[in-house]
Structure 1
Amino acid sequence: MKPSSRITIRDVAATAGVSVATVSKVLNARYGVSAATSAHVQSVIRELGYEASLVAQSLRNHKTNVIGILVADLEPFSTELLKGAAKAIKGTGYELVVYSAGGRTSDQAGWEQRYLSRLSGTLIDGAVLVTPTVIDVDYGTAVVAVDPHAGPSGLPTVDSDNLNGARLGTQHLLDLGHRRIAMITGRPDLESSRQRELGFREAMGDAGVPVDPDLIQVGDYDPDSSAAAAHLLLSDPDRPTAIFGANDVSAIAAVEVAASMGLRVPDDLSVVGFDNVPEAALASPALTTVEQPIHAMGQHAIELLIKLMHGAPVDTTHVRLTTRLVVRRSTRAV
């Protein structure tokens, strides 16, 4: 047997000098095996590092000790969320498996239902759904939704204060003297996107600054769509002096488009993002952004899910975390 090969039940039987049936009985705690033989087989199992398949374990004890994180795609937000989830899972006795839909457009609506039906009950004990499209469904297993598409529901959720975060980002630009402020919005189907646009509009309204409809362009949280939106905004003879991106991906795309058009950030254009993913600090110039605690969102989702799986009492099933403004070098006064 090669050192890198997967250990099988046959390998355990051969090493222990017993039959496969005997090893199976030990694994399933069945009668018919002496205490000495059972102890010997268990010692070989530990020595070889053998683990029964997840499906076999689930059929045996109805538990896999595995938590699934389901994401529509692996992008900066979900990647940072996974870091927080990985931190929270340590020491819990659970393992973490990540299932990505790969960003397939045909799966944008209802993708989580299809994948949960494959995984629940046999491969995972519970799931964290990142930006799920459907949140009022009985999935047959414990589920926590992070940044769901719709508003409040009966499904446990974790999100951040998107409304106030957008107000903070917009107010920062207003305080710098900007009045012709554009926004590259996110995905219209996401509640976080709707809240961020609403926060932008509320801050502008409170300052008595009208929102020019031509300065609101959809970016879909996507770099290519956001770049197209930024190019349209900056090609206008009466271009904006500032752009608020609904996420950092959108804002960084705007900075890159501005540079390609010969505009300097922040001298000719101020830009604010949202999320504070690592790419924001590494951008040139470093991006002023609204930070939502993405790692903490992942941690809270795992902690809440485990409590629900164990039937433990929880203070709330709807966790909303605060946002804050992080000022860097992509904004300046006009």
Structure 2
Amino acid sequence: MDTPTIYDVSRLSGVSTATVSRAFTAPDRVREETRRKVLAAAEALGYQPSAIARAMARQQTDKIAFLICKKDATILDEFYASICEGVMRRANSTSYQLLISTAADWQRTGQSKQIEGVILAGDAEPSLISSFQRQGVAVVLVNHRASGFELPSVVADEQNGARQVIDHLTAYGHRRIALLAGRFSSYITSVRYNAFLTAMQEHGISVDDSGIVMCGRDVESATQASVELLRRPERPTAVFAFNDVLAAGVIKAATRLGLRVPDDVAVVGFDDSSSCTLLTPELSSVHVDCRRMGEICLEQLTALLSGDTEVPRLTVVPVSLRTRASSIRL
């Protein structure tokens, strides 16, 4: 029979290998209930503390990872870089070594890395999540919810963000409000689309297909779609864009057609990226506290790694609309 390993104890006890290690080397850092699980699993397997010490000496431990799960993503992506900044802030006060990568690069080069936990940012593939779970790696999701997995997820309050936008636009008399929807992750596309519909219904405004336009994720695609939208006989007086990149395309299209923003068409984005104050006029947008999202992710991941079984499965981070000249008639 093969000598039991730390990973066998991890699987049997249902905790990470880092928690197994701490249960023997720093028991005061592990909850009593979790420590009992580890000791029971080790006893059942015939696993000795000395064997754990040798295993820990052979393997790199206390590593965690932050992976951006977005098509064609880079670690310089502003939205996820801001989340990562929050993760790093919290990680710096722990004993964990943080690895940062895109999911695509990780799968190409990082399969051999031993990590104890991972934060998956964005549209994580079910196969990737399952792979980490099979390895006994603790997983936290951010800006995503994965059907079929009972995992902690940290998301922005998309519903309230859309509600604030529609409240703001209707307060300025807008009733013909269009949605420019980009082809983002299934979660973001669904939640922002439905949040828009709900907010419009709350104001008694009907929405038909003519008021919702799909486009790609880049400025040029958004511009082309917006030109067609703004050329309609019953053109909208306001456009709510899925994010600030798409909103920039709306402003570009309006300028191309000789329309004034916000007098002829008001524009609001989502994310409140650095580009908002670089546009003319400056862009109103829903501010997402990305750094706070990252901090919460790291807090929840370290809680999982210490054996906490009460980490919430859903954490919704508040958002706030920041109004600027693109939606306010001066």
Give the TM-score taking structure 1 as reference length: 0.72
Cα distance in 1 for residues equivalent to 2:100 and 2:248:
27
Identity of aligned residues (%): 31
Query: 1:195 aligns to what?
Result: 191
Question: Match for residue 277 of structure 2?
Answer: 281
Cα displacement (A) at 1:63: 3.2
Listed one character per residue, the Cα deviations across residues 220-274 of structure 1 (whole Å, up to 9, x for unaligned) are 4433332222122122232211100111111122112222322221122100111
Aligned mates of 2:111, 2:93 — CA distance in 1: 23
User: Equivalent residue for 1:69?
Assistant: 66
> 1:148-159, aligned counterparts within 5 Å?
148=144, 150=146, 153-159=149-155
Change (3 A) 1:123 1:175: same
Q: Is the 8 A contact 1:218 1:225 kept in 2?
A: no
Structure 2 CA distance for aligned equivalents of residues 228 and 152 of structure 1: 37
- In the TM superposition, residue 198 of structure 1 has moved relative to its aligned partner by 1.2
CA distance in 2, matches of 1:138, 1:121: 12
How far apart, in 2, do the equivalents of 1:180 and 1:58 lie? 65
Q: How far apart, CA to CA, are the structure 2 residues paired with 1:160 and 1:183?
A: 19
- For residues 15-38 of structure 1, the C-alpha deviation after alignment (integer angstroms, 9 at most, x for no partner) is xxxxxxxxxxxxxxxxxxxxxxxx
Counterpart of 1:100 in structure 2 is 102
Q: Matched residue of 2:254: which SS?
A: helix
Q: 8 Å contact 1:304–1:317 — kept in the other structure?
A: no
Find the residue that maps to 1:184 and give its secondary structure: strand
Code of the aligned partner of 2:198: E
Aligned 1:78-117 pairs, distance under 5 A: 78-100=80-102, 115=106
Moved more, 177-186 or 203-212: 203-212
Counterparts of 1:78 and 1:320 in 2: how far apart (Å)?
A: 17
Alignment of 1:1-150 (within 5 A): 60-71=57-68, 72=70, 73-74=73-74, 75-100=77-102, 115=106, 119=110, 122-135=113-126, 137=130, 139=132, 140=135, 141-148=137-144, 150=146
Change (3 A) 1:188 1:94: closer
Give TM-score scaled by structure 2 length.
Answer: 0.72
Question: Structure 1 residues 158 and 117, CA, compared in 2 at 3 Å: closer, same or farther?
Answer: farther
* Conserved 8 A contact 1:132-1:146: no
- Secondary structure of the 2:130 match is coil
* Equivalence map 1:168-187=2 (5 Å): 168-187=164-183
Residue 137 of structure 1 aligns to a residue in which SS?
Answer: helix
Structure 2: distance between partners of 1:224 and 1:129: 29
Which ranges of structure 2 fall in alignment gaps of 5 or more residues?
1-53
Aligned residue for 1:312? Answer: 308
Deviations 1:264-299 (A, max 9, x none): 211221001111122223322221111221111111
Higher relative contact order (CA 8 A, sep 6+): 2
1:154 offset after TM fit, Å? 0.4
Q: Deviations over 1:67-98 (max 9, x none)?
A: 22111213331122122222222121223322
Q: What secondary structure is seen at the aligned counterpart in 2 of 1:148?
A: coil
Distance in 1 of aligned mates of 2:213 and 2:192? 13
- Structure 1: state its 5+ residue gaps: 1-56, 102-110
Amino acid paired to 1:94: Y
Deviation at 1:305, TM superposition (A): 1.2
Q: 1:163, CA displacement in angstroms?
A: 1.5
Q: CA RMSD in A?
A: 2.7
Which amino acid in structure 2 is aligned with residue 264 of structure 1? R
Asked if 1:233 corresponds to 2:224, the answer is no
Provide Cα deviations, 1:151-205, integer angstroms capped at 9, x if missing partner.
Answer: 5840221111111211211221111111111101133642222121112111212
Distance 2:81 2:318 in 1: 20
Distance 1:320 1:221, change over 3 A: farther
CA distance in 1, matches of 2:78, 2:131: 29
| Contact kept in structure 2, 1:134 and 1:149, CA below 8 Å | no
Q: Which residue does the alignment assign to 1:204?
A: 200
1:146 to partner: Cα distance = 0.9
Q: Aligned pair count?
A: 267
Against the structure 1 CA distance between its residues 202 and 317, is the aligned structure 2 distance closer, same or farther, given a 3 Å change threshold? closer
